[in-house]
Copies of this chain bind each other. A is one copy, B any other.
Amino acid sequence: MSNATISDVAKKVGVSESTVSRYLSGFKVRNSESIKKAIKDLNYRPNIMARNLKSGKTGMVAVIVPDVTNPFFAAIVRGAEVAAGDDYMLQLISTGDDPEKEEAAIRRLSGRVDGLIYVPAKEDTDVITEFADYSFPVVFVDRVIKNLRGFDSVLADNQTGAAIATKHLIDHGHTAIAHIAGPAASTPGKGRTEGYLAALKKAKIEKNLDYYVESDFTVLGGYQAMMGLLALKKRPTAVFVGNNLMTIGALKALKESKVNVPDEIAVIGFDDHELSDLVDPPLTVISRDAHLQGALAMSTLLERIRDGYQFPPKQLKVDSNLVIRQSCGSTCLYRKKDADKKILSSSTSS
């Protein structure tokens, strides 16, 4: 029961293929009624591949994230899908943080998609310089490959968010504030560390190198980093953790070591989570709208696909907000009663 072709329809009605084709693309056609009927009778569906070949378009957009399993990336994907609407379908690539697989996947992408939304697993690679060569536009999200300037991107306001987080700890009276950071070679790792340092500087707190731990954005990394901090002669009294996964790891370490949060150590994380307020204790975090990031990326990409690069690259940023719960201790500086989920807005987008 192989599918009927446009020529079957044409034959059945007694017109030429081009007339049927015209009917399909919405032109006025004399026998439109009988064509309609024939299409229905034969259960004809245009062959997408043939159409794509002719048009050079695929109606597909690739989305590459390091790991769909991370709720943050899943939100980006979902946001992108929503923004794509009915116009484009999504090809998902999530290599589980494997840069080599990612690169191989990108190679196989050419000709399959009209555009790419890209959260690279590794930013300091230079192999993807071929991008300039690729025939489709690319929008970076959250991370940007170093030697590729001139692309659109949708980042988070990492600096401001991290500064707010750090200041929140400072406002609670902490001065021994550690930072479990993501890779310094990554946009969010670097940006958040900058914000952390800026806040310390502003409060005239001398930075302690022991309190800066560069990790890798994973649960295990966060766990080990926290274990390291706990082993210090002079433990920090507060920790700002640079992403959601490492925060989970850090909390596991604290729990395992029976260190009370927030009494012995205050914790603030980056990126919120559905379960953040059920965790023990409910977690204070910096949050930003990943869904929005995905959606913005998609709409930017669709613009590029439509209009090309006649407009200069956009660098979009989404806000970071402070969500206060209980992992930083008493919220005396703010009114206690509505403190369970109070949101302080940070910077605005650019």
Q: Which residues of A contact B (CB under 8 A)?
A: 1-3, 43, 45-50, 52-53, 58, 60, 63, 67-69, 71, 74-75, 77-78, 81-82, 86, 89-94, 96, 104-105, 108, 110-112, 133, 135, 219, 248, 251-252, 255, 273-275, 277-281
Q: How far is the CB of A107 from chain B (nearest CB, A)?
A: 9
Q: How far is the CA of A281 from the CA of B273 in the complex (A)?
A: 17
Partner of A278 from B46, B82, B108, B251 at Cβ < 8 Å: B251
Partner of A110 from B45, B279, B281 at Cβ < 8 Å: B45
- A3-B110, A86-B104 given; 20 more Cβ-contact pairs under 8 Å: A1-B133, A2-B135, A43-B133, A46-B111, A47-B53, A47-B111, A48-B111, A53-B53, A63-B92, A69-B78, A81-B92, A81-B93, A89-B105, A89-B112, A90-B92, A248-B274, A248-B278, A251-B278, A255-B277, A275-B275
A89: which B residues are within 8 A, CB to CB? 91, 93, 105, 108, 112
Task: Name the residue among A89, A277, A279 with the largest chain B CB count within 10 angstroms.
Answer: A89
Q: How far is the CA of A301 from the CA of B58 in the complex (A)?
A: 24
A110: which B residues are within 8 A, CB to CB? 3, 45, 48
A78: which B residues are within 8 A, CB to CB? 67-69, 94, 96
Q: How far is the CB of A219 from chain B (nearest CB, A)?
A: 7
Partner of A279 from B58, B94, B278 at Cβ < 8 Å: B278
Q: Can you list 21 A-B pairs, Cβ within 8 angstroms, ordered by A? A: A3-B135, A45-B111, A48-B111, A49-B49, A49-B52, A49-B53, A50-B53, A67-B78, A68-B74, A68-B77, A71-B74, A74-B74, A77-B94, A78-B94, A78-B96, A82-B96, A90-B93, A91-B91, A252-B277, A278-B279, A279-B279
Q: How far is the CA of A275 from the CA of B74 in the complex (A)?
A: 16
A63: which B residues are within 8 A, CB to CB? 92
Q: How far is the CA of A17 from the CA of B290 in the complex (A)?
A: 48
Task: Name the residue among A3, A108, A110, A111 with the largest chain B CB count within 10 angstroms.
Answer: A111
